[in-house]
Amino acid sequence: MPAATPAQILPGTLDLLILKAVSLGPLHGYGVLLRIEQISRGALLIEQGALYPALFRLVRQRLLKARWGTSENNRRAKFYELTSAGRKRLREEADGWNRLAAAIASALSTRPEEA
């Protein structure tokens, strides 16, 4: 665990993070968790159990597809990968998120004389 206090993720962003994590290669559930921690450099804290309802939701929305396979430590595990709809959704959400983040960042960096 990194030393800095990790931030609770914003509601609604978990799906986006999962899509992003999976977009980098098929992962099982625990792998998704590790990947998110890794790509956020430990800055984001995810309640581990909450991952699964989100994964199942994404599968039902046909953004992810799941298949059973064997994990690196020889456990039977369910692997998730992006569908084309998932890839599209990831692009849209990421764009939206970037725009929002940029807007908020620009708003927050406003100095008194600019107001």
Question: Would you tell me which residues interact with another protein (CB under 8 A)?
Answer: 28-30, 33, 47-54, 56-57, 60-62, 68, 71, 73, 75-78
CA angle 50, 2, 14 (to 5 degrees): 25
Q: What is the nearest approach in angstroms of another protein to the Cβ of residue 38?
A: 13
* d(C-alpha 109, C-alpha 55), whole Å: 36
Please name the residue that has the structure tokens 């084309």. 84
Angle between helices 13-23 and 29-39 (to 10 degrees): 100
Nearest residue (CB) to another protein, 37 versus 90: 37
Q: What is the nearest approach in angstroms of another protein to the Cβ of residue 93?
A: 18
Nearest residue (CB) to another protein, 55 versus 106: 55
